[in-house]
Chain A
Amino acid sequence: MNAEDVDQEAIERLYERLTREAEEGGYHLNPDVPFTKNLVRGLIVNERRYGYPSCPCRLAMGSRERDRDIICPCDYRDPDLDQYGACYCALYVSGAILRGERELTPVPERRPPMAERRAQEPVLPASSLPWPVWRCRVCGYLCARTHPPEVCPICRATQDRFERFL
């Protein structure tokens, strides 16, 4: 099957799930339903193409390692929601946008170019804590344990989205 051929039912299913998960976590999908379902379609296409749902509005390199920061929800969603009231794709919007108190405007790309992304990987000094502290790069959840959890209990991001924090 061609990755581009997504049936409507698959879109509806994922749309329902993302809506439920967003609302449960205090996030909101864009209320422009046709626009949002088109992005959901893009997520399904990318999941089929690359094996992970990378951002529909960014060009993926096709390797999970290099695209990790743009697997939806990306590392940049929350800062963009804070600053612009929407993520880069406008799949997620803030409460103010949802309630019509703020206008949706284009969100500039915040993701640094590849060379800078590499350079930004933090190098932590050896820690004297009994456990390392892990931070979810998507939602900021912190936990102190030997390894990060398989799935973030707050936002469901996978283990590889965690970074050592302390």
Chain B
Amino acid sequence: MQWTHVEGKDRGKVRLYALSTCGWCAKTKQLLMELGVDFRYVYVDLLDADEMAQAIDEVAQLTSQQAFPTIVIDDDRVIVGYRADQIREALGP
């Protein structure tokens, strides 16, 4: 799957599942950049059918739904939606 790497401070393995058209996804990505953390993101709507199915599966297993943005920290903590407080608390300085 085509993940884009944004370099920054190591706060664990941070992944962002996003849609390229979604406003809250854009805000979430922007916040991660402001916080300066190292993360990878993927725009699920731009994937080919097989990879999209795989991404949907991964998100569904983590959250039992299908919503974007979904942030996964260390394969363990999951934040669904632009929850700025939770994101800051989990990844902020």
Contact = CB atoms under 8 A, between A and B. Distances in A.
Interface residues of B, number: 20
Interface residues of A, number: 23
B76 to A, nearest CB: 21
B66 A106 contact: no
B1 interface: no
B83 interface: yes
B21 A42 contact: yes
Contacts of B24: 57, 89-90, 106
Contact of A106 (B20, B22, B26, B81): B81
A89 B68 CA distance: 10
Contacts of A82: none
Given A59-B44, A59-B45, A108-B81, A41 B67 contact: no
Looking at B21, B56, B67, which has the most chain A CB atoms within 10 Å of its CB? B21
A57 B56 contact: no
B19 interface: yes
A138 interface: no
Listed from nearest, the 10 A-B pairs whose CB atoms lie closest are A42-B21, A56-B21, A57-B22, A106-B81, A109-B67, A39-B23, A35-B23, A56-B22, A45-B21, A38-B23
30 contacts: A35-B23, A38-B23, A39-B21, A39-B23, A41-B21, A42-B19, A42-B20, A42-B21, A43-B21, A45-B21, A46-B21, A56-B19, A56-B21, A56-B22, A56-B23, A57-B23, A57-B24, A58-B19, A59-B44, A59-B56, A59-B66, A60-B45, A89-B22, A89-B24, A90-B24, A106-B81, A106-B83, A108-B67, A113-B65, A113-B66
Interface of A: 4, 35-36, 38-39, 41-43, 45-46, 56-60, 89-91, 106-109, 113
